[in-house]
Amino acid sequence: MSDQKTVEETTTSEPAARGTVVVEVRDIGKRYGNIIALSDVSTQVKAGEVTCVLGDNGAGKSTFIKILAGAHQHSDGELLVDGEACTFSSPREALDAGIATVYQDLAVVPLMPVWRNFFLGSEIRTGVGPFKRLDIDAMKKITKDELAAMGIDLRDVEQPIGTLSGGERQCVAIARAVYFGARVLILDEPTAALGVKQSGVVLKYIAKARERGLGVVFITHNPHHAFPVGDRFMLLRRGKSIGDYPKSELTLEDLTSMMAGGAELESLAHELQSIMGEDSDVAAEMVAEAEST
């Protein structure tokens, strides 16, 4: 009997050439009944670039992600993928177009090994008909190789994913999306709940995904995280875009003060400090900056 391997649910899209616009939104908007969650937002996601979406709580970041990820449909404007206007009616459709989303609360099964989580829902099977079984060796090897290709050095892919740190789990999720053919990777505040060191690790893998030619959409509160890895910055405030700039047009200081400013910046800095801890360098720096604004 010939061994027949199948990988279920893989995406089929080809990677786009670096610099090509893969996803574009033009004056996009979303209304929930009378509530306008997002209006007139425009930006581009290019292959091999990181588009950062910055904004405070309630700015519309989640709404923006949900539209790109196919979880919600836009009410106004246009969403273009490879230059063609489209509306995703489900996350599956977005995934089929090569748009993968890694949410902050990663859907992992903590007690299952890393390799099992890597292939969850897309297992490789071997054999045919009633003799079909999981190809465990192949899945372990691919997981190990893919993590290594992203520069993630795990001692053992057999260890339960719940034993990894939050940053490492994010990195496994990024490697998984890359392996399953994502062209665009949306990262929903991947560093928000992490300390400085762990955030640095995740930022490194964001840069790695960009190097591999993916278009990355990096959602964050934190200009200090966005600036080093971002190529383009789109700022949201109360559902509206307050700017969409390539990196050449702004400095970290511009980004920080534009993002919030004055009292809003200060409360954001304190919020960040409470998340990251009193001795977080990033948070302390932001508080100092907010107080000097």
Q: Which residues bind ligand ADP (CB under 6 A)?
A: 32, 35, 37, 55, 57-63, 239
Choose between 38 and 100: whose C-beta lies nearer to ligand ADP.
38
Angle at 157 between CA 152 and CA 162, to 5 degrees: 90
Angle at 44 between CA 38 and CA 27, to 5 degrees: 35
Choose between 63 and 143: whose C-beta lies nearer to ligand ADP.
63
Choose between 176 and 237: whose C-beta lies nearer to ligand ADP.
237
CB 173 within 8 A of CB 206: no
Cβ within 8 Å of residue 4, ≥6 positions away: 126, 127, 128
CB of 32 to ligand ADP, least distance (A): 3
Choose between 174 and 268: whose C-beta lies nearer to ligand ADP.
268
Cβ within 8 Å of residue 134, ≥6 positions away: 123, 124, 125, 126
Alpha-carbon distance 78 to 255, whole Å? 26
CB of 109 to ligand ADP, least distance (A): 26
CB of 199 to ligand ADP, least distance (A): 19
Quick check: helix, strand or coil at residue 200? helix
CB of 88 to ligand ADP, least distance (A): 17
Rg over CA atoms, the chain: 20
Structure tokens at 282: 């990033």
Choose between 62 and 143: whose C-beta lies nearer to ligand ADP.
62
State which H helix or E strand residue 84 sits in.
strand 84-85
CB of 267 to ligand ADP, least distance (A): 14
Choose between 142 and 259: whose C-beta lies nearer to ligand ADP.
259
CB of 236 to ligand ADP, least distance (A): 7
Q: Find the distance separating the first CA and the last CA of the chain, reported in whole Å.
A: 72
